[in-house]
């Protein structure tokens, strides 16, 4: 490696962090960030809700998430040293809402991390059923903590290979579907054909309510799509990497989500698709892979580990930002507002890990585990509030003196911004339509109103 390249690679940001991520890391993280574990396990359930029109739900939701990413991308392009989009809420919407968004986002990520580490333990127990869940959770947390603490480049390399496993699994499913269609493959359900998708087609086979409920399920499959924006500040050339990573989001949605769903529905008539079994497992079993269940369990294990790895990366940086923006004696004593020699917010990461580690003990206590499930569900609704604040921040940025006319501009922002905000509100309302999400919707509403008022009062002067 030349001295010039080495200098570029280790170039520091204003806040002392190191640009250690390469373009290939971010591009794979961007691809994997649009693919949730739910695709592997819950595709049958989402197809069952509303049939082939689920593709329209995925495309519509994906489009609005893309609009949001264009807004985040424009602001990060203007100031590529920012390692979190929350800073823009503070700057353009106000300190009160910035404080609300910073703490809410960090807490939501913490609960997401708790849910992910619990899922990791479940997937490991597929092979080792006698291993205690709490022990698996602690070991995985310690391993991924090391990945995040050593250097950002180690995180990038780990995430690169986690992402590769997910991508290969989906491409294998799509290739299998194409092969079956071209060879007129016969299954126990009949011939594999695109006719299985449109035969006896009904746009709303289970009514409008199920169709509307599908939006919130799909919306949360895209959750954490904004993570690619968080990583770009630690890349070597953020203004080159960021536009490419965001521009390709629509094509990734079409290939990975639409391609996978079309393949599944071509192989199985969608009305016969069981909701309690992974369609990926069923497809690979059909082509003679007897260990298909173990294979997909490995894929979802790496997918959950990848999500947890990304969560640790993100929680550490957000808590570091909170500690710097709201200095106090406790943060000074904990030293969470400082970086390690490798340019990593190690103390902030370790504190976040310690909080997430509580999940190892919470889930074994009766009663508390139910409360934990409610809080986790509530954090999903809070996420929507943060996304809405981000769109408002972008609108205010466009009207500010900071506006960079030759930057990576979001097209037609004057009408796309309010439409995107309206869509987010619609998804939030849809949380009240389903019994499994209504308690979480109420919980998140209480948090948004209560903590929102507190944050405004705290900074009213």
Tell which residue, 31, 52, 37, has the closest CA to residue 261: 52
Tell which residue, 35, 21, 24, has the closest CA to residue 65: 35
Q: What is the pTM of this model?
A: 0.87
Domains belonging to the chain, first-starting first, are 21-458 (1.20.1740.10)
Q: Which residues contact 154 (CB under 8 A, 6 or more apart)?
A: 147, 148
How many CB atoms are closer than 10 A to CB 133? Answer: 18
What's the alpha-carbon Rg for the chain, to the nearest Å? Answer: 22
**Alpha helix locations (H) across 227-326?**
227-231, 238-247, 249-252, 259-267, 279-286, 292-325
pLDDT in tens, the chain (461 residues): 333 343 344 455 555 555 556 666 666 666 665 566 667 777 777 888 888 999 999 999 999 999 999 999 999 999 887 777 888 999 999 999 999 999 999 998 888 888 888 888 888 988 999 998 889 999 999 999 998 888 777 878 888 888 888 888 889 889 988 988 898 888 777 788 888 888 777 788 888 888 988 898 888 878 878 877 677 766 778 888 888 888 888 888 888 888 989 998 888 888 888 777 778 888 888 777 888 888 888 888 888 888 888 888 888 888 888 888 877 777 777 877 787 777 788 888 899 999 888 877 776 666 665 565 666 667 778 999 999 999 999 999 999 999 999 999 999 999 999 999 999 999 999 988 888 788 888 989 999 999 999 999 998 86
- In degrees and rounded to multiples of 5, residue 18 shows phi and psi of -105, 140
Tell me the CA distances in angstroms from 166 to 140, 160, 163, 297, 344, one per residue in order: 19, 10, 5, 11, 27
Residue 343, phi-psi category: left (phi > 0), alpha (psi -120 to 50), beta (remainder): left
Instruction: Find the helix packing angle between 37-50 and 208-221, rounded to 10°.
Output: 170
């Amino acid at each position: 490696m030349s001295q010039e390249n080495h200098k570029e690679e280790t170039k520091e940001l204003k806040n002392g962090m190191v640009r250690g991520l390469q373009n290939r890391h971010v591009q794979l993280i961007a691809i994997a960030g649009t693919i949730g574990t739910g695709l592997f396990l819950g595709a049958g359930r989402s197809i069952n809700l509303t049939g082939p029109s689920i593709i329209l739900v995925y495309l519509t939701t994906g489009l609005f998430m893309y609009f949001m990413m264009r807004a985040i991308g424009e602001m990060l392009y203007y100031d590529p040293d920012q390692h979190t989009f929350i800073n823009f809420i503070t700057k353009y919407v106000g300190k009160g809402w910035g404080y609300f968004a910073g703490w809410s986002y960090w807490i939501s990520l913490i609960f997401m991390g708790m849910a992910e580490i619990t899922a990791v333990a479940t997937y490991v127990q597929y092979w080792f059923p006698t291993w205690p869940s709490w022990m698996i959770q602690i070991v995985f947390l310690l391993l991924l903590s090391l990945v995040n603490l050593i250097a950002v480049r180690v995180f990038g390399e780990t995430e690169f290979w986690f992402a590769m496993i997910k991508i290969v699994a989906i491409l294998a499913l799509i290739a299998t579907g194409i092969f079956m269609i071209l060879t007129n493959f016969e299954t126990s359900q009949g011939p594999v054909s695109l006719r299985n998708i449109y035969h006896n087609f009904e746009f709303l086979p289970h009514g409008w309510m199920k169709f509307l409920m599908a939006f919130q399920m799909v919306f949360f499959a895209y959750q954490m799509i904004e993570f690619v924006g968080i990583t770009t500040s630690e890349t070597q050339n953020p203004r080159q990497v960021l536009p490419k990573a965001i521009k390709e989001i629509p094509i990734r949605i079409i290939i990975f989500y639409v391609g996978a769903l079309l393949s599944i529905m071509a192989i199985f008539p969608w009305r016969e698709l069981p909701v309690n079994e992974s369609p990926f497992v069923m497809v690979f079993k059909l082509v003679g892979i007897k260990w298909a269940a173990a294979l997909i369990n490995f894929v979802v294990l790496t997918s959950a580990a990848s999500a947890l790895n990304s969560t640790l990366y993100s929680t550490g940086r957000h808590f570091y930002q909170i500690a710097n923006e709201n200095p106090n004696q406790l943060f000074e004593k904990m030293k969470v507002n400082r970086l390690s020699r490798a340019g990593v917010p190690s103390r902030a990461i370790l504190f976040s890990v310690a909080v997430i580690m509580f999940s190892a003990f919470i889930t074994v206590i009766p009663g508390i585990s139910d409360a934990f499930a409610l809080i986790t569900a509530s954090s999903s609704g809070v996420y929507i509030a943060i996304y809405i604040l981000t769109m408002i921040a972008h609108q205010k940025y466009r009207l500010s003196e900071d506006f960079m006319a030759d930057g990576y501009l979001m097209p037609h922002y004057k009408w796309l911004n309010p439409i995107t905000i309206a869509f987010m509100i619609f998804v939030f309302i849809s949380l009240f339509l389903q019994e499994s999400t209504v308690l979480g919707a109420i919980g998140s509403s209480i948090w948004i109103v209560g903590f929102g008022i507190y944050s405004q009062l705290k900074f009213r002067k």
